[in-house]
Amino acid sequence: MSSVSVIIPALNEEEPIAGVVRETAATKIPAEIIVVDNGSTDRTAERALQAGARVVKAPQGYGRACAAGVTALRPECEIVVFLDGDGSDCPEFMNQLVDPIVAGTHDFVIGSRTRGKREPLGLPLQLVTCPAFGYAVKTHRGSRPPRPRRWSTRIPQNSPVHPRPGRVA
Q: Which CATH number fits domain 4-104: 2.60.120.10, 1.10.10.350, 2.60.40.420, 3.90.550.10?
A: 3.90.550.10
Q: How far apart are the first and last CA of the chain?
A: 27
Given a contact cutoff of 8 angstroms between Cβ atoms, the answer to whether 157 and 168 are in contact is yes
Cα separation of 126 and 38, whole Å?
22
Q: Which residues of the chain does CATH 3.90.550.10 include?
A: 4-104
Q: Could you read off the pLDDT of 82-132 as tens digits, one per residue?
A: 999 999 889 999 999 999 999 999 988 888 766 655 555 444 444 445 555
Q: Could you read off the pLDDT of 2-58 as tens digits, one per residue?
A: 799 999 999 999 999 999 999 999 999 999 999 999 999 999 999 999 999 999 999
Given a contact cutoff of 8 angstroms between Cβ atoms, the answer to whether 4 and 29 are in contact is yes
From 71-85, 109-123, 154-168, the region with the lowest mean pLDDT: 154-168
